[in-house]
Amino acid sequence: MENETLKRRILSGIQPSGDLTLGSYLGAIRNWAALADEYDCFYMLADMHTITVRQEPAELRRRTLTQVAAYIACGLDPQKNTLFIQSHVPAHAQLGWVLDCYTMFGELSRMTQFKDKSAKNTDNVNAGLFTYPALMAADILLYQADLVPVGGDQKQHVEICRDIAARFNGIYGNVFKVPEPYIPKVGARIMSLSSPESKMSKSDKDQNGCVYMLEKPEDILRKFKKAVTDSEACVRYDQKEKPGVSNLMQIYSVCTNRDFDAIEAEFAGHGYGDFKAAVGEAVVELLRPIREETERLLADKAALQAIYRDGAERASRVAGRTLGKVYKKVGFIDR
């Protein structure tokens, strides 16, 4: 019905709350371009979600634009995918409000992300942080998405979205498609370079642990030189005993398409210095074309604007149809 193509539809939202990391590139973004062959994909920069935590306005603008450009540079063709910014499609706020009225205080109180974030931001436990899952449900349900790719931390939000959709459908008939979470084929799980027991993350306290997708080559090389290893001085995969070296091997393997045996052979008899330098170089070369293309796209503001405007228009058409149905069902008068 809403979906003109016969492909199943995917919707995913990404918060422009920090700079993109090597971990998110290797673990997720890198695999997205290929999805467009099989699915009708919508990718949204969830800037409205991001302001549930206080932001520096200029920084939020910079990150949002940079990420639009970076996703395209990573191979997300804006012709084949619908790439848009959440605040450009007012239907999100509109359906978000309606769904607030079909989401229970008790359910929202049980969300682990709300509990975590309100414990972390005690000076700003705002209503948006609390109703965040209803807005996210609106994001998904507006597009009648079949599948929602999410990491483990967002699964509970997809669950509550399903509950809200089922509740609404139970009252008004089949308005919303009830979506499924989609766990994409496992990308690499990249760990921090400075504390390889934990995931590489932009919120890592030690900034040497996290490599950013658009970082300067010299900074990337420096971070890899400082990467934590062990005292064995042997390049060998052993996740448990050698988490640092194994993580570097994992990264090198994804960059060069070589398996662990080949990597062990390549560095047999070499010290960690050579190995870390080689991994750093491989990452620099992998990211170079992406960084250059991102910079090229950002330099032409008008062309970039044309892309996200077109995305917003396409998204608005789909979202508007669902919103119209919902307004009618709940008893609003047609303007």
Structure tokens at 309: 């405007």
**117 counts as catalytic:** yes
Residue nearest ligand TRP by beta-carbon distance: 13
DSSP 28: I
Q: How far is 18 from 20, CA to CA, in rounded Å?
A: 6
Q: Is 47 in the site for ligand TRP (CB under 6 A)?
A: no
Q: How far is 331 from 335, CA to CA, in rounded Å?
A: 12
Q: Is 40 in the site for ligand TRP (CB under 6 A)?
A: no
**199 counts as catalytic:** yes
**242 counts as catalytic:** no
Q: For ligand TRP, which residue of 140, 160, 287, 323 counts as binding (CB under 6 A)?
A: 140
At 320, the amino acid letter reads G
Structure tokens at 70: 């970076």
- Give bridge partners of residue 149 from the DSSP assignment: 182
Q: Is 52 in the site for ligand TRP (CB under 6 A)?
A: no
Q: How far is the CB of 180 from ligand TRP (least distance, A)?
A: 12
By beta-carbon proximity to ligand TRP, the closer residue of 47 and 215 is: 47
Binding mask 4-33 for ligand TRP (x = CB under 6 A): -------xxx-x------------------
24 CB-near residues (< 8 Å, 6+ apart): 213
By beta-carbon proximity to ligand TRP, the closer residue of 143 and 272 is: 143
Q: Is 136 in the site for ligand TRP (CB under 6 A)?
A: yes
List the catalytic residue out of 7, 80, 199, 226.
199
Using DSSP's 3-state secondary structure scheme, residue 54 falls into coil
List the catalytic residue out of 155, 177, 185, 202.
202
Q: Is 246 in the site for ligand TRP (CB under 6 A)?
A: no
**How many residues in the chain?**
335
Q: Is 229 in the site for ligand TRP (CB under 6 A)?
A: no
Q: For residue 135, which of 44, 27, 49, 33 has the smallest C-alpha distance?
A: 49
Pairing of strands 82-85, 39-45: parallel
Using DSSP's 3-state secondary structure scheme, residue 145 falls into coil
Q: Is 165 in the site for ligand TRP (CB under 6 A)?
A: no
Q: For ligand TRP, which residue of 9, 49, 63, 177 counts as binding (CB under 6 A)?
A: 49
List the catalytic residue out of 7, 80, 117, 225.
117
Q: Is 65 in the site for ligand TRP (CB under 6 A)?
A: no
Q: Is 46 in the site for ligand TRP (CB under 6 A)?
A: yes
Q: How far is 11 from 25, CA to CA, in rounded Å?
A: 18
Question: Around 242, how many Cα atoms within 13 Å sit in the side-chain half-sphere?
Answer: 16
Q: For ligand TRP, which residue of 35, 41, 142, 148 counts as binding (CB under 6 A)?
A: 148
**DSSP conformation letters of 218-284:** HHHHHHHHT----SS------TTT-HHHHHHHHHHHHHHT--HHHHHHHTTT--HHHHHHHHHHHHH
Any idea which residues carry the catalytic annotation?
117, 199, 202
- List residues near ligand TRP by CB under 6 A: 11-13, 15, 46, 49, 136, 139-140, 148, 150, 154, 157
